[in-house]
Amino acid sequence: MNHDSPKIPQATAKRLPLYYRFIQNLHSSGKQRVSSAELSEAVKVDSATIRRDFSYFGALGKKGYGYNVSYLLSFFRKTLDQDEITNVALIGVGNLGTAFLNYNFMKNNNTKIQIAFDVDEEKVGTVIGDVPIYHLDELEERLDLKEVPVAILTVPSSAAQGITDRLAEAQIKGILNFTPARLNVPPTIRVHHIDLAVELQSLVYFLKNYPDASDEK
Ligand code: ATP
């Protein structure tokens, strides 16, 4: 996030990439303005929240006109540092890790996996989707953390905490944890946890118990 940008609430900041992606699509389809109602429908955030979010960064929509798409796009690009790519390391090149290396987030994003680690000798020394895979023994040596502030963890959960401790020691700034393990980290490190099995179970639970999604509101 750009340090010169005004302080915006965390909940708003979390929605910015969502808005950004949609605005990018609008821009490339040649649309010049968008209403908060259209945005709301597309990103599934209610329009009052969108208006409040946008007011934090000075984008004040006009009644009957909506928001200027080019203005929004340049704001998001600046705020999300889209011109500056954040390098990411991936640890654990199994099924999930391999899929991420092949996908590599570049289409809509400002992040790129630059380097991967594994312990499997068959994988070490190979390259997947342009990303070289090194042995985990070389983690500290290879991670120039000025270049790589973020790590994605797709290892078995039993290995997650040990690797996290090493990443913490090497002063990584953020970890995207795809393992079911709950990680202990110093307060200077931000961990976002995505447990796909739990998310899926939770979706199934809600479908069973609240079949009409509008009941929740
Ligand atoms: P997934 O679909 O979760 O990626 P998988 O069945 O392909 O799983 P896992 O056993 O979950 O494989 O392991 C994921 C990857 O993590 C494998 O490539 C494995 O070699 C690697 N791995 C296992 N232990 C470690 C470790 N301590 N450090 C780094 N990589 C590890």
Atom of ligand 1 nearest to the CA of 155: 16
How many whole angstroms from 190 Cα to the centroid of ligand 1? 22
DSSP string, 81-101: TTTSPEEEEEE--SHHHHHHH
Atom of ligand 1 nearest to the CA of 159: 27
**Alpha carbon nearest to ligand 1 atom 20, residue:** 120
Cβ-proximal residues to 131 (8 Å cutoff; 6+ apart), any chain: 90, 101, 104, 113, 114, 115, 116
Q: Which pLDDT belongs to residue 10?
A: 84
Q: Block means of pLDDT (10 residues each) for the chain, length 217 residues?
A: 61 86 89 88 90 79 79 82 81 97 77 94 96 96 83 98 95 95 95 92 87 63
Q: Is 3 exposed, middle or buried (0-12, 13-18, 19+ CB in 10 A)?
A: exposed
Cα separation, 71 vs 204, in Å, equals 40
Cβ-proximal residues to 78 (8 Å cutoff; 6+ apart), any chain: 2, 5
Q: Which pLDDT belongs to residue 2?
A: 44
Atom of ligand 1 nearest to the CA of 96: 4
- pTM comes to 0.73
Q: Which pLDDT belongs to residue 212?
A: 76
**Ligand 1 binding residues, C-beta < 6 A:** 91-97, 117-120, 123, 136, 154-156, 159, 163
Report the residue among 119, 131, 196 best suited for mutation to probe ligand 1: largest number of ligand atoms under 8 A from its CB: 119
**What is the value of ipTM here, to two decimals?**
0.93
Cβ-proximal residues to 197 (8 Å cutoff; 6+ apart), any chain: 180
**Alpha carbon nearest to ligand 1 atom 12, residue:** 94
Rounded to 5 degrees, what are φ and ψ at 107? -60, -45
Report the residue among 100, 102, 153, 155 best suited for mutation to probe ligand 1: largest number of ligand atoms under 8 A from its CB: 155
Atom of ligand 1 nearest to the CA of 179: 3
Q: Which pLDDT belongs to residue 1?
A: 44
How many whole angstroms from 153 Cα to the centroid of ligand 1? 9
**Alpha carbon nearest to ligand 1 atom 27, residue:** 159
End-to-end CA distance of the chain: 31
How many whole angstroms from 96 Cα to the centroid of ligand 1? 9
Q: Which pLDDT belongs to residue 133?
A: 97
